[in-house]
Amino acid sequence: MATWTRKPQEKEGSYFFSGQFLVTRGVNMELSPEEILAIYQDVQAFVKEKDGIDYLQVYVDEEGRKLFFIDQLNREMIESGDYAEEDNHCTLMFAHEY
For residues 31-45, give the mean pLDDT.
Answer: 98
pTM for this predicted structure: 0.95
The string of pLDDT tens digits covering residues 39-98 is: 999 999 999 999 999 999 999 999 999 999 999 999 999 999 999 999 999 999 999 999
> What are the residue ranges of helices labelled H in 1-98?
25-30, 33-50, 75-80
Neighbouring CB atoms inside 10 A of 16's CB total 19
Specify the pLDDT at position 2.
82
